[in-house]
Every structure is written in structure tokens, then in C-alpha cells.
Amino acid sequence: MHMSDALITPAVGGTFLAASAYVINYSAKKIESNVIEKRVPYMAVISAFVFAAQMINFAIPGTGSSGHIGGGMLLAILLGPQAGFLSMATVLLIQALFFADGGLLAFGCNLINMGLFTCYVAYPLIYKPFSRGSKKWLLVGTVLATVIGLQLGAFSVVIQTIISGKTALPFKEFTLFMQPIHLAIGLVEGFITAAIVGFLYERREDLLFDFFKNNSMSRQLSPRKTSIIVQGILVITLIVGGLFSQFVSSDPDGLEWSLEKAVAQAETSEMEESVTVTSTIEMTMANLQSKTAVMPDYDFNQSDDTNISSNIGTSVSGVIGSLLVLSIVTVFGIVIRKIRF
């Protein structure tokens, strides 16, 4: 669900960049003290894992579309809403800067769509009330919160695209394609997230943010156990990013699929003609991204005289991207800890 700059105007992109900057600042100020004091390495590896997991597109049977997990709800459940939002900001920034996945102008839109609605809407309003019950209700709440968070994000994409007015997309058709396909994607992500949460609830419930925060008498992570857990998650992350990322669906993702279907439904070609870069701001952002994106589309930027396997490029991208996220989140957490303490 990463939006490109071609779908939005500078006014819309700038507005959501400002909004996302405000939420980033709020999150940095309000992040839980116990996360910054004790959990920076854990926060970093979980963020890296979400980056790697987002690279895996799964096919949606019978649609010709594919999807990938957003990871916002998983970040919120494991790290808390503030740390989860900051982690999502880092993941999306690395994706846009180094891999041209999502536009730089659209960064604010993508962060609001994938981070705000999960961490600050679905997590407190849906997940938390359910999490106070039994394991069954915890898992139900996890699935519901994941689905609702993604539905809100998908509808936000529709609104941002329509109010930008750069496309010939009709609101009704675009919405009718976006919401159902992201419902299917959300259900898959919801069950994956619930499986992870359920596993941790049974074996290491202190890794769930609410349990860690609210139970002072609970098991606390010793430095040794923290190191083992962090190392284990890092190994899993590198395997997912370096190996599993090769086994992905080639079908268009939910947003691309919805755009194609909506254009076909409207029987118009104006969409193709209207998504060209037109303003100075857009050209500047596009030029900047072309310089920073060393591996666009998670592959080597091949010249005519090179013939490097795209599978290798995907694996290298998964590993490098995961390590970049790991490093930046670690540095960011250390900086906040020094400022706060």
C-alpha cells in the first residue's frame, strides 16, 4: 500500500508530511521510558523484522492481486504505539530513500496510512479492550484491529488520491476495489499477527508491550536473555529478508490492482496520461529519490553491460535494508535515551 508521488499533489503531500512530522515528534516525546531504558535492541530487531516481512508478497487467490503485511499492528503490540509509530517511520523512510518503494513526497501519506491508523487508532480502540480478556479474545482483538487498521489506511489512500485530483479515478469505483482487496489482505495479516502474538502470549508474554508495561511483578528480561532473544530475532530477520523474500508473488499489490481495475471500470485512459510529474517540487523529489535509491525496486541498478540475477538483488536488498533499519532505530533510541535521561 505504498503510494507513489504520481498519485498526489504537492499540497496534499506537504500537508501529510507536516502531519506525520508532528506525530513523530509527539511519539519521540511520549515514548514509554521502559522501552527506551531497557528495550532499544528489541525495538531495533523488531523494526528490522517488519522491514524484511514487508518484502514478502503473497497472492490473493482468485483476484490476480497480491499483498504484504503492513506490520503496524505488530509493532504496536510488541513495542507500544509510540515506539511502533517511530519504527514504522524508519521502515518507510529506508524503503523510499534506498529502494524507491513509495514516494518521498508521499512519505507522510504512507506513514499516516500504515502507522497512525494502526498504532494510534486500531491499537487503543480495538486491540486493547480485547487484550484484557482471555487468550481467545486477545487473538480476536488482534485480527480485528489489524483488519480495521488496514481498512482505514486503504480508505485514506482513496481520499488522498481523489482530493489530489491528478487522476481520472472515480471515487465510487476506486473505493469498491480498494476496500475488499485490502479486507482480504488484512485478514491474512491479521491471522499472521495473531499467530505471533499467541505464540508469545504462551511462551514469552513479557515481550508483549502491555504485559511488560503493566505487570511490575512479571518476568523481566535479564541482559543475557535480552541478548539471546535479540540475536534470535535478528537471525530470523536475515533469513526472511535474504531467503524468503525471493519467494514472492509477481501479481500487482492491492493498490496497483485497484488502480488498474478502477481505470478499466471507468473506461478511461486519462489515468495513464495524468500521473506524469508536472511541478517543480515533484521533479525535485523525483530527482532526489533517483540519486538516493541505490537499489530501486529491491534490485541492482543494472546497466546494459551487467546481468546480475534479480534474485540475488532481492536477497541483498533484504539483508541491507534490514541492517539499515536495525542501525537507524538503534541510534535513534540511544539518542532519545540520552536526551530523556
State residue 152's pLDDT score.
Answer: 98
State residue 267's pLDDT score.
Answer: 60
Domain boundaries, the chain: 5-298+308-340
Which CATH fold topology does 5-298+308-340 show?
Arp2/3 complex 21 kDa subunit ARPC3 (1.10.1760)
State residue 37's pLDDT score.
Answer: 78
Q: How far apart are CA 329 and CA 39, in angstroms?
A: 11
Q: How far apart are CA 227 and CA 225, in angstroms?
A: 5
pLDDT in tens, the chain (341 residues): 789 998 999 999 999 999 999 999 999 999 988 788 778 999 999 999 999 999 988 989 988 899 999 999 999 999 999 999 999 999 999 999 999 999 999 999 999 999 999 999 999 999 999 988 889 999 999 999 999 999 999 999 999 999 998 877 889 899 999 999 999 999 999 999 999 999 999 888 888 998 877 664 445 556 667 788 889 999 999 999 888 877 778 888 999 999 888 887 776 444 444 445 567 888 888 888 888 888 888 887 655 444 455 678 888 899 999 999 999 999 998 888 888 66
Query: Which segments of the chain are extended strands (E)?
Result: 58-60, 65-67
Query: Which segments of 14-168 are extended strands (E)?
Result: 58-60, 65-67
State residue 271's pLDDT score.
Answer: 45
Can you name the residues that pair with 58 across neighbouring β-strands? 67
Q: How far apart are CA 77 and CA 118, in angstroms?
A: 10
State residue 221's pLDDT score.
Answer: 57
